[in-house]
Amino acid sequence: MSRQKAKIELDKDYAKRLFLEGNTQKEIARRLGRTEKTIGKWKDEGKWDDLRKSLLVTKDTQLTSLYNQLDRLNKEIETRTIVYDVPANLLKPIKVKDTDGNERLEMPLYNPKDFPVKVGNTPSSKEADIIAKLTSSINKLETETSIGEIVDVAKQIIQFTQGIDLEFAKQLTDYFDLLIKQKMS
């Protein structure tokens, strides 16, 4: 790929990121030194409007969902009824005769705790695997800083600075743009 095509692709990716963060086509064109028409063409070709709608799942909502799944699984395990591995013959009624010779059915007496636990309040291997995967996903989401997060922070700082010093905010925007382009390459 030629340098020119690589630069266009890099700008297109960055423009898409800015668009998905809520920037206008005019602002994106200004920041990238492109025309609004070019940004509009890229937006239509890449169906960025559809993508923006589908990106309602933010990092926070993903984390909340993962924590909720982990919590539900742990509560299910904690509150699960303990099942003991009682032999089948003790679970069926037996015929007994009273002193008069009359027969009746009676359940055998036993203490279930005398038998091994079949299903308990500890995770099965499948549940332990799910817990490990959920925990790993949570850890990854909480510790990684994505380009999107850098863009979010940059946007907040620039918006804050615009109210104080517009020229400095424009300069800061250019610096953040350089940082983001560097992170994307």
My answer on whether 51 and 16 are in the same domain is: yes
11 neighbors 34 (Cβ within 8 angstroms): yes
Q: What is the average pLDDT score of the chain?
A: 87
149 neighbors 59 (Cβ within 8 angstroms): yes
Phi, psi (rounded to 5 degrees) for 152: -60, -50
Residue 139 domain-assigned? Answer: no
pLDDT at 179: 85
Residue 17 domain-assigned? Answer: yes
Residue 163 domain-assigned? Answer: no
% pLDDT > 90, the chain: 40
Please name the amino acid found at residue 30.
Answer: R
User: Domain count of the chain?
Assistant: 2
What are the pLDDT digits (tens) for 5-38?
A: 888 888 898 898 888 888 899 999 999 999 999 9
The band of 49, judged by pLDDT with boundaries at 50, 70 and 90, is confident
Residue 42 domain-assigned? Answer: yes
pLDDT at 43: 93
% pLDDT > 70, the chain: 92
Given 65, 95, 120, which residue is the final one in a domain?
120
Please name the amino acid found at residue 17.
Answer: R
Residue 133 domain-assigned? Answer: no
My answer on whether 50 and 3 are in the same domain is: yes
My answer on whether 45 and 93 are in the same domain is: no
Using DSSP's 3-state secondary structure scheme, residue 70 falls into helix
154 neighbors 125 (Cβ within 8 angstroms): no
73 neighbors 65 (Cβ within 8 angstroms): no
Residue range of the domain that includes 15: 1-56
Task: Give the angle subtended at the CA of 93 by the CAs of 88 and 94, to the nearest 5°.
Answer: 105
55 neighbors 46 (Cβ within 8 angstroms): no
Q: Dig out the tokens for 165 from the structure.
A: 């010093």
What are the pLDDT digits (tens) for 58-103?
A: 677 788 889 999 999 999 999 999 989 999 898 899 999 988 889 9
pLDDT at 56: 53
5 neighbors 28 (Cβ within 8 angstroms): no
My answer on whether 51 and 5 are in the same domain is: yes
Please state, in angstroms and rounded to a whole number, the distance separating the CA atoms of residues 12 and 39. 8
pLDDT at 67: 94
- Does the pLDDT of residue 134 top 90, yes or no? yes
The band of 57, judged by pLDDT with boundaries at 50, 70 and 90, is low
pLDDT at 54: 59
Residue 43 domain-assigned? Answer: yes
